[in-house]
Amino acid sequence: RTMGQLEHPNIVPVHALGCDRNGQPVLVMKRIEGFSWRELLRHPERATDPAIARSLARGLDFHIEIMMHLCNALHFAHSRGFIHRDVKPENVMIGAFGEVYLLDWGIARWMAPHERAGSGNTAQWPPASSQRSASRADWHPMPAAVIACRCRTTTSVSMGILTCSGGEGAMGATT
């Protein structure tokens, strides 16, 4: 239902949601093909599509461009009151023509206008009362993903601490 309410170029469109004759849920979405961002980060040599391989050759610029698309998708979702809550490279799909999709809205949360700062004023999003849960849930993984791109490491964020492990550039930093 969340995705059906968010029509944005970086969010997979839902065409229909309902039940079949047996009462089973039916979800009709746009078919997307490509690679998960995580797969491209870990194994760029597996990119069989020439267009994706050329994009990967741009290095950090390519990954920063992906981040910009993700930020646009999250900004749009937040402006509608939705928090994704599971932003990570495996929930991002890169298509053969550079399409970037933020996937897996399964644990997304909608905040009613009265829960948002300024009674629905999205200019003050996220609400002050939920700064720790809302903004960190969607925004803290973003710098971690950029650092992972640069260092070719695995990253995680816990309690505001960014931890990078593996690769030559492994480090720990406070976000």
Quote the strand ranges of the chain, DSSP E: 14-19, 25-29, 35-36, 82-83, 92-94, 100-102, 109-110, 154-158, 161-165, 172-174
User: Among residues 49, 61, 86, 138, which one is catalytic?
Assistant: 86
Query: Torsions phi, psi of 124, nearest 5?
Result: -105, 20
The tokens describing 157, both together, are: 């964020």
SS3 17: strand
Give the CA distances from residue 159 to residues 137, 147, 165, 166, 173, in Å, rounded to whole numbers and listed in that order. Answer: 11, 18, 17, 21, 12
Q: Is 61 part of the annotated catalytic residue set?
A: no
Place of tokens 């053969």: 96
Q: Residues 6 or more apart from 126 whose CB is under 8 A from it?
A: 78, 83, 116, 117, 134, 135
* Catalytic residue positions, numbered: 86
